[in-house]
Amino acid sequence: MTIGLNHYLILAGILFCIGLYGALSRRNAVAILMCIEIMLNAVNITMVAFSRYIVASALTGQIFAIFIMTVAAAEAAVGLAIFISLYRHRETVDVERMDLLKW
Amino acid sequence: MTGVGIAIGFWVLAVVAVASALAVVLWRNILRAALILVLCFVSIAGIYITLNADFLAAVQVLIYAGAIAIVIVFAVMLTRDAPRGNQLNRFWFPALVISALMLIVIIYTSLSTDWKTVAELASEPTTSAIATALFDKEKGFILPFEIASVLLLAATIGAIALAREK
């Protein structure tokens, strides 16, 4: 029973689809952001798994994972600031009621 | 670490990660969902250790389980929807179908592709190797690194400007 590349890919796929379902089916914007973080983590697992099992000496996948983490941190900071600002103006973070741009 | 140890660690961490991700998605109380998200991040850090990525595991604990989780808990507190905030919207059933189809496609492609895997390397620390690969003069990632730092600065200033009291 050895753990191979497929184990990590399927684990990452399961986590990605859980996050996708949550991001599509929730009404609270903060919950949607949490699900997006789960999806980004799943992508990072695939990056590190490919780096380990396919180009084991180059470590490029781990460097890509570091850049993804940077972008995820920036996205979380800006996204949560937007939600706090929206809550201050409209008293809600329900995405079904954020329809100002809908014609 | 031996192969059996890595296998046991992988299965335990994978079950914990999937269960806590499901709890994040399904739990009605959003504050508890934000706290169980920390468990998900920590178990993914453990998965990185089974992949021989010790530096990334440390970064995962610091950035995700430390910084991002705290920021999310702050946002939950400041928006005051905690007890009933995590309700389903009208599109939960199409979302379930789309996610299930996506999962089937991912599993099928990853099982049917013939990955050209290399032989296992001995586990050794990756920190200095990552530093060499990141800052190498010939084929490093110096320009993306600088752009990432500018991105973080812009995100910080933008977050402060957005969330400030007018």
> What residue segments make up the domains of chain A, in order of their start?
5-97
CATH number belonging to domain A5-97: 1.10.287.3510
Contact (CB<8Å) B151/A31 = no
Per-residue pLDDT of chain A (103 residues; tens, 9 = 90+): 678 889 999 999 999 999 999 999 988 888 899 999 999 999 999 999 998 888 877 788 899 999 999 999 999 999 999 988 888 888 777 887 777 777 6
Contact (CB<8Å) A28/B92 = no
Report helix, strand or coil for B139. coil
Question: Which of A1, A8, A41 is best to mutate for the B interface (most B CBs within 10 A)?
Answer: A41
Tokens 């850090």 sit on residue: B45
B29 lies in which domain range? 3-86+123-163
A84: distance to nearest CA of chain B, Å?
A: 6
Which strand (E) or helix (H) includes residue B77?
helix B69-79
Condensed to tens digits (0 to 9), the pLDDT of residues B119-162 reads 766 677 888 888 888 888 888 889 999 999 999 999 999 999 98
Q: Residue B27 has what pLDDT?
A: 86
Tokens 């949490």 sit on residue: A34
- Which residues of chain A lie closer than 8 angstroms to B83, CB-CB? none
Q: Residue B59 has what pLDDT?
A: 93
Q: Residue B3 has what pLDDT?
A: 77
Domains in chain B: how many in total? 1
Chain A: residue nearest B35 by CA?
A34
Phi, psi for B88 (deg, rounded to 5): -80, 150
Condensed to tens digits (0 to 9), the pLDDT of residues B62-81 reads 999 989 999 999 888 888 76
Question: Which of B27, B117, B138, B139 is best to mutate for the A interface (most A CBs within 10 A)?
Answer: B117
Within a domain: residue B98? no
Q: Identity (one letter) of the amino acid at B163?
A: A
Q: Residue B82 has what pLDDT?
A: 55
| 0.80 exceeded by pTM | yes
Split at pLDDT 50, 70, 90, the class of B85 is low
Within a domain: residue B102? no
Split at pLDDT 50, 70, 90, the class of B118 is confident
Q: Residue B128 has what pLDDT?
A: 87
The two tokens of residue A88 are 């201050």
Counted across chains A and B, CB pairs separated by less than 8 A come out at 240
Condensed to tens digits (0 to 9), the pLDDT of residues B27-62 reads 888 888 999 999 999 999 999 999 888 999 999 999
Split at pLDDT 50, 70, 90, the class of B117 is confident
| CATH assignment of the domain containing B53 | 1.20.120.1200
Contacts of B61 (CB under 8 A, 6+ apart): B41, B42, B45
Q: Give the Cα separation of A77 and B114 in Å (integer).
A: 39
Q: Residue A2 has what pLDDT?
A: 78
CA-based Rg of chain A, rounded to a whole angstrom?
Answer: 17
Q: Give the Cα separation of B51 and B41 in Å (integer).
A: 15
Who among A18, A70, A87 is closest to B22 (CB)?
A18
Contact (CB<8Å) A27/B88 = yes
Within a domain: residue B70? yes
Within a domain: residue B21? yes
